[in-house]
Structure 1
Amino acid sequence: MVVTDSRMIELVNIGRSFRRADGRTVAAVSDVSLTIPEGEFVCLIGTSGCGKSTLLAMIAGLLAPSQGSIVVDGREIDGPGPERGMVFQRDSVFPWMRVVDNVEYGLRCRGVAAPERRAVALRYLDRVGLGHVERAWPRELSGGMLKRVAIATVFANGAKVLMLDEPFGALDYVTRHQLQRVLLDLWDDGRAGTTRRTVLFVTHDVDEALLLADRILVVGAGRIVDDIRVEAPRPRDTDTLLRSDAVAIKHRLLGHLGLERPLAQGRAAGAAA
């Protein structure tokens, strides 16, 4: 299957089932069809166990779909590939390699010459604010710094599609916001041309999705249950979350997550108190 237009990712009737220990089959993802254009920043949000990480793993090629097809950059995938980069929830750096060697590892695997890959690695370490620790060992870095290494690595490798599975979930508030800005600054490098990366970002955080995304996909029971365009202009900050359109989207998302009560019910509860 070949895609000839600007679609970077196309899912056609994707499903993924697992067999449980008791022999029963459970559908983690069911009949998902989806198109994502080149350069779009997409957040996937939903409750735990709804299928978002499974969906991401199939696009990454780490899981094979039980049914359907996945096309990335015009080719149907059958496993991991250099056009797709992944940042996991847990730290994915090699502890036996220094920071700069971690960042250039993917380039070395692709046969890029040593001087070029070192220059690329140092450039991205500078971009994420870690140029001063290039020779450090991962054990010497904080959790936030390790995430910066992971982000530098995935951008340095030159993948057209970047997938991040709740990368900032375990970080403190300040570090999380700093890394959101680092990620957006690197992604925004392509704003003047066609080189902006396509990003799929899994999160549980509604505010994070509103600050990052062009588009928010709500996943529920293994299906896409809502597809929301975020029109707020960039760059965004915490004031963006106060815009009427952002507030409306937030309520919509909270409703999907089961965290929003009808207004009348909330008032009645307050009056009773």
Structure 2
Amino acid sequence: MNSAANSRMIEIVHVNRTFQRADGQMVKAVDNVSVVIKEGEFVCLVGPSGCGKTTLLQMVAGLLEPSDGGIAVAGREISGPGRERGMVFQKDSVFPWMRVIDNVEYGLKCRGVPAAQRREIARTYLERVGLGHVEKAWPRELSGGMLKRVAIATVFANGSRVLLLDEPFGALDYVTRHQLQSVLLDLWDEGGAAARRTVLFVTHDVDEALSLADRILVFHSGHLVDDLAVTAERPRSTDSLLLPDMVAIKHKLLAHLGLEKRAKPLAIVQDGAAS
């Protein structure tokens, strides 16, 4: 694939997703969303509960089909789950009947990677997330934060070009959440810009989005209502969040979330422009 094609890793074109509720009423969870995510971008999806963030993420993962529109990854239309897209769910998704290292190896095993090679890859990523000493442990023996480290090691070990994370750190305490943000960013940035995976990361935490993202996509009632670039240099510290540009973005996000007074009505973003 040429470099021009590579720069457009995820293409979401006029995507809608409609559900039928138990009472028979139709609800549009995602409403005519179009956006392009470049290769290697770290993009956070932010918005109130029920705004369509997770629904869109699941469509990119191939777990849900769009009602209308199309989604392509690396130039190929999505028709279901694929190994080029790894997902970390909000709830723990490790297999409780497998030891830690077997969980990390599982995707590689399914792909037919030889045992010695997949064991080496799994050990490398367990070391990178700080869990090399518990590779033989059972999941029940680990804390919530450690289980998230296993999940992160697993998606990186499997070599997925696109990583999809649905509020992975939302249930963790403040210290553990910040530690895991650093672990995730270190792995994402390992090897420099040319080696970065493309990341879609759903979060309700405004500071988390500001700490992690190159771009923040803001959703409201199924619509994409803002597309904000975050240009602060990495690594970002607590002081980084106090920079004028970061404070301005935070005020915009808080307004979208209804936590600050909005200066003007919501716009809808389509094809990179607000209307």
Q: Give TM-score, length-normalised by structure 1.
A: 0.93
Question: After the TM superposition, which residues 10-159 of structure 1 pair with which residues of structure 2 at under 5 Å, given as runs?
Answer: 10-159=11-160
SS at match of 2:124: helix
Query: What residue is the counterpart of 1:248 in the other structure?
Result: 248
Query: What residue is the counterpart of 2:270 in the other structure?
Result: none
Whether the 8 Å contact between 2:86 and 2:155 is mirrored in structure 1 is yes
Report the Cα offset of residue 262 of structure 1. 6.8
Encode CA deviations 1:22-59: one digit per residue, 9 max, x unaligned.
21111000111110000000000000000000000000
Report the Cα offset of residue 224 of structure 1. 0.7
Question: After the TM superposition, which residues 149-228 of structure 1 pair with which residues of structure 2 at under 5 Å, given as runs?
Answer: 149-193=150-194, 195-228=195-228
SS at match of 1:104: helix
Report the Cα offset of residue 261 of structure 1. 3.4
Tell me which amino acid in the other structure corresponds to 2:243.
Answer: R
Distance in 1 between residues matched to 2:113 and 2:77, nearest whole Å? 26
Report the Cα offset of residue 192 of structure 1. 4.6
SS at match of 2:201: strand
Distance in 2 between residues matched to 1:181 and 1:18, nearest whole Å? 37
1:22–1:218 Cα change, 3 Å: same
SS at match of 1:181: helix
Whether the 8 Å contact between 1:10 and 1:36 is mirrored in structure 2 is yes
Q: Give TM-score, length-normalised by structure 2.
A: 0.93
Aligned length: 261
Tell me which amino acid in the other structure corresponds to 1:253.
Answer: L
Report the Cα offset of residue 4 of structure 1. 2.9
Distance in 1 between residues matched to 2:17 and 2:231, nearest whole Å? 32
Distance in 1 between residues matched to 2:12 and 2:136, nearest whole Å? 41
Encode CA deviations 1:96-120: one digit per residue, 9 max, x unaligned.
0000000000000000000000000
Encode CA deviations 1:39-81: one digit per residue, 9 max, x unaligned.
0000000000000000000000000000011000110010000
Report the Cα offset of residue 20 of structure 1. 1.2
Tell me which amino acid in the other structure corresponds to 2:199.
Answer: V
Whether the 8 Å contact between 2:96 and 2:140 is mirrored in structure 1 is yes
Whether the 8 Å contact between 2:43 and 2:217 is mirrored in structure 1 is yes
Distance in 2 between residues matched to 1:192 and 1:6, nearest whole Å? 12
Whether the 8 Å contact between 1:190 and 1:197 is mirrored in structure 2 is no
Segments of structure 2 that go 5 or more residues without pairing to the other structure are 264-275
SS at match of 2:101: helix
Distance in 1 between residues matched to 2:24 and 2:175, nearest whole Å? 45
CA RMSD of aligned residues (A): 1.3
Query: What residue is the counterpart of 1:270 in the other structure?
Result: none
Segments of structure 1 that go 5 or more residues without pairing to the other structure are 264-273
Select the structure of larger CA radius of gyration: 1
Whether the 8 Å contact between 2:61 and 2:81 is mirrored in structure 1 is yes
SS at match of 1:92: coil
Tell me which amino acid in the other structure corresponds to 1:23.
Answer: G
Distance in 1 between residues matched to 2:216 and 2:27, nearest whole Å? 26
Distance in 2 between residues matched to 1:217 and 1:143, nearest whole Å? 28
SS at match of 2:5: coil
SS at match of 2:234: coil
Distance in 1 between residues matched to 2:166 and 2:262, nearest whole Å? 31
